[in-house]
Chains A and B, each alone.
Chain A
Amino acid sequence: MTASLNTAALALGDDALVLSHRLGEWAGHAPVLEEEVALANIALDLLGQARVLLSLVGDEDELAFLREERAFRNVQLVEQPNGDFAHTIVRQLYFSTYQRLLYGRLAAADVRPDDEAHEALRGLAAKAVKEVAYHQDHAEQWTLRLGDGTPESHDRMRTACDALWRFTGELFQPVEGLDVDWRELEADWLTSVSAVLTRATLPLPEGARTTAWSAGAGRQGVHTESFGRMLAEMQHLHRSHPGASW
């Protein structure tokens, strides 16, 4: 595998792994039983994607459990705490829209027959695009209901949309090894997200989509404060018993 494909698989794999862990934190705490199942389903899909992607790079367990915070390449959006249900849904809407558009492009990419690494990535994307289309649909459904629900659910959605907006610019930072028109991807993402927010009677957030302190950001291993605590919990057992088999 070439270095640039390693970079790409690690970036996409870390996105999926970290968001999967965040969704896993909802287990037993979702508003209704049916939603419990839906969030767990999405988390499982993402963990499946992470396993395939990280395995392209090396040993999936070593990569997940023995890397320090600075070695993780996920975008900062996916590491944001769950917050209330509105925050979780908006994070999911922003991210799964991005994932669907990106995987759709990767699945349709032209790959030389002898290019096994790219072919593996395309295979993953072709499988995952069906899953992420479902995730996006789920997030859209909830965005519509909460945004256009009661005054309180509307306010909470608005707060969540604004709070997470500044992490969305980073999604379109080009990733080495992914041959994608990032500007076009960003334009499609904006169109899709604005359409859903409009239907949900929510205004498109106005602030900047990146902040000064996010320079570098997740893809370069610069993460937000809560990520370290999340990793400590995720990696604790593996680090306490190194080399054990499970």
Chain B
Amino acid sequence: MTTSDWPLWEVFVRSRRGLSHTHAGSLHAPDAEMALRNARDLYTRRNEGVSIWVVPAAAITASSPDEKDPFFEPSADKPYRHPTFYEIPEGVQHL
């Protein structure tokens, strides 16, 4: 068995009541179909009603840690960029 036969996959899971897919972990599998099945065993314990995404790790491009400053730092002197001036009405969920 070589690594190229069993590449790494990243697994994203949305739980039954969840709103979005969350990165759950990674695993090795020969192809996407098997990756899905393995993900189901490893990360969902076969709970009904969940959604699973598997992505070959090679397909993911990550931001580089070196670019941290210009990439992520918001300009703190422009508060109008942040929606902090509103009262959130009661009953609004998942904001």
Say yes or no: is A141 at the interface (Cβ < 8 Å to chain B): yes
In the assembled complex, the CB of B20 is this many whole angstroms from the nearest CB of chain A, namely 25
- Given the interface contacts A33-B28, A134-B46, does A38 sit within 8 Å of B37 by beta carbon? yes
Which residues on B sit within 8 Å (CB–CB) of A141? 33-34, 37
Q: A114 an interface residue at 8 Å Cβ cutoff? A: no
Contact of B37 among A31, A32, A33, A138 (CB under 8 A): A138
Taken together as a complex, chains A and B put the C-alpha atoms of A179 and B18 apart, in Å, by 42
A110 is an interface residue with CB less than 8 A from chain B: no
The bracket for how many chain B residues form the interface is 10 to 19
B79 shortest CB reach to chain A, Å? 49
A38/B38 in contact, CB under 8 A: yes
* Contact call A37/B42, Cβ cutoff below 8 A: yes
Q: Mark B20-45, 1 if CB is under 8 A from A, else 0.
A: 00000001111001100110011000
> Contact: B33 with A34, CB < 8 Å?
no
Q: Does B19 contact A (CB under 8 A)?
A: no
A-B contacts, 20 listed (Cβ < 8 Å)? A31-B1, A32-B1, A32-B6, A32-B28, A33-B28, A34-B27, A34-B28, A34-B29, A34-B34, A37-B38, A37-B41, A38-B37, A38-B41, A41-B41, A134-B46, A137-B37, A141-B34, A141-B37, A145-B30, A145-B34
Q: How would residues 24 to 59 of chain A score, 1 for a CB under 8 Å from any chain B CB and 0 otherwise?
A: 000000011110011001000000000000000000
Q: How far is the CA of A134 from the CA of B8 in the complex (A)?
A: 23
Contacts of B30 in A (CB 8 A): 145
CA distance A194 to B38 in the complex (A): 26
Contacts of B27 in A (CB 8 A): 34
Interface size on A, residues (CB 8 A): 12
Using a CB–CB cutoff of 8 Å, the interface residues on chain A facing chain B are 31-34, 37-38, 41, 134, 137-138, 141, 145
With A and B bound together, what is the CA distance between A33 and B37 in angstroms? 13
Residues of B within 8 A of A137 (CB): 37
Given contact pairs A38-B41, A145-B30, a sample of 11 additional A-B residue pairs in the complex whose CB atoms are under 8 Å apart: A32-B1, A34-B27, A34-B28, A34-B29, A34-B41, A34-B42, A37-B41, A38-B37, A38-B38, A41-B41, A41-B46
Cβ of B30 to closest chain A Cβ, rounded Å: 7
Least CB separation from A35: chain B residue: B38
Closest 8 CB pairs of A and B: A34-B38, A37-B41, A41-B41, A38-B41, A34-B27, A37-B42, A34-B29, A141-B34
Alpha-carbon distance A34/B28, docked complex (angstroms): 7
Give the Cβ gap from B53 to chain A, nearest Cβ, in Å: 17
Shortest CB-to-CB span from B8 to chain A, Å, is 12
Interface flags, B58-72, vs A, CB<8A=1, else 0:
000000000000000
Identity of the chain B residue whose Cβ is nearest the Cβ of A39 in the assembled complex? B41
A33 and B6 alpha carbons, distance in the complex (Å): 11
Residue of A at shortest CB range from B34? A141
How far does the Cβ of B49 sit from chain A's closest Cβ, in whole Å?
13
Alpha-carbon gap, A241 to B21, bound state (A): 50
